[in-house]
Amino acid sequence: MKKFLTILFVPILIIIGIGYLLPEFKEMPCGTASSYNHQSFWHWPWTRGTSGHPHTGVDIFGKTGTTVRAQNGGLVIYSAYMNDTAGNAVFVLGPKWRVHMYIHLKERYVEKGDFLACGCQIGTLGNTGNAKKTPPHVHYGIFTPIPYVWKFFIPIGEGNQPVRYNWMKMFWLDPADHLPTE
């Protein structure tokens, strides 16, 4: 039994470890550091109550059709018209097992299963989903499937955050910490 557990867990730990060793880059998917509000992460209610929960990313504004690039390389795990909230969405599993989410795209250039280098074109900026009524933008979010439990009690963002959404803070990282400051 002990041997079986070793055989099972050692490769899993090695694979998780390799994910943490991969270098992580700080690039803008499009636009510049002034194309988004650095305080918009966890602002509540950013969407005036339509989604009900705090804003889980930042909105990078720009012209429709602007090229959107992979902020980090990785494996495309989702590329489709998701629903009328997200519209066209691309999710890329990157370094440190973080999932980079690009939402409200006009066009998608990548498919599920594609391996991307940092800076690859993944699509174009648009206003699909519930971005129809707002200026065109990419909603960019970073999700970690490995929870950061210490974040549960840390206040972040602006606005009154209902405590019932605290669990979400363990899974959604502030993209402003992972984007260039200038």
CA distance 161 to 156: 9
Token pair of 85, please? 């909230």
Q: How far is the CB of 61 from Zn ion (least distance, A)?
A: 10
* Four-residue CA torsion sign, 64, 111, 55, 177: negative
Contacts 24+ apart (CB under 8 A), 107-114: 108/79, 108/80, 110/76, 110/79, 111/76, 111/79, 112/76, 112/77, 112/78, 112/79, 112/80, 113/75, 113/76, 114/75, 114/76, 114/79
What is the DSSP-derived secondary structure letter of residue 98?
P
Binding-residue total with Zn ion (CB under 5 A): 2
| Closest-approach residue to Zn ion (CB) | 139
CB of 57 or CB of 73, closer to Zn ion: 57
Q: Which is nearer to Zn ion, 59 or 174 (CB)?
A: 59
The least distance separating Zn ion from the CB of residue 100, rounded to whole angstroms, comes to: 14
The span of 10-18, 27-35, 68-76, 136-144 binding Zn ion (CB under 5 A) equals 136-144
Report the residue from 59, 106, 130, 142 that binds Zn ion according to the rule CB under 5 A.
Answer: 59
Among 3-11, 115-123, 139-147, 164-172, the segment contacting Zn ion (CB under 5 A) = 139-147
Half-sphere exposure of 122 (CA within 13 A, CB side): 40
Stretch that binds Zn ion, among 17-25, 27-35, 138-146, 148-156 (CB under 5 A): 138-146
Residue 139 sits in the site that holds Zn ion (CB under 5 A): yes
- Comparing CB distances to Zn ion, the nearer of 75 and 168 is 168
